[in-house]
Amino acid sequence: MITAADNDNSTDGPMVFIIIAKGYEGPDSEGVDLHILLSAPDDDSAVREALNALSEEGFAEADLDQIGVLMGAPEEEPHASAYQGALQGEVSIIRFG
């Protein structure tokens, strides 16, 4: 008999998501590789919040490639600072390139 749900979304602390994406500032613009870190109750909420944040930053379009939950604080920058920001309710967008 199963007594507890086996669910990837069951963690003791806040869930900090990382979304790997490519953002476009205009129809003919070259894409920018992005990592988005944020805290959310579930992956659907994380995607909505990430897209809203990208829109506020001037991105017209975005391709979201992967989403996952970080199981611990990253040690290297810029992800370590972005993780701390996510714990404080911020949506952190890391641009590459």
The predicted-structure confidence for 44-53, as pLDDT tens digits, reads as follows 999 999 999 9
Query: At 73, which amino acid appears?
Result: A
Q: Would you state the pLDDT for residue 11?
A: 55
Query: At 31, which amino acid appears?
Result: G
Q: Would you state the pLDDT for residue 6?
A: 47
Share of the chain above pLDDT 90, in %: 80
What confidence category does residue 27 fall into, taking pLDDT thresholds of 50, 70 and 90?
A: confident
7: pLDDT strictly greater than 60: no
In this prediction the pTM is 0.85
Q: Would you state the pLDDT for residue 28?
A: 87
Q: Would you state the pLDDT for residue 43?
A: 94
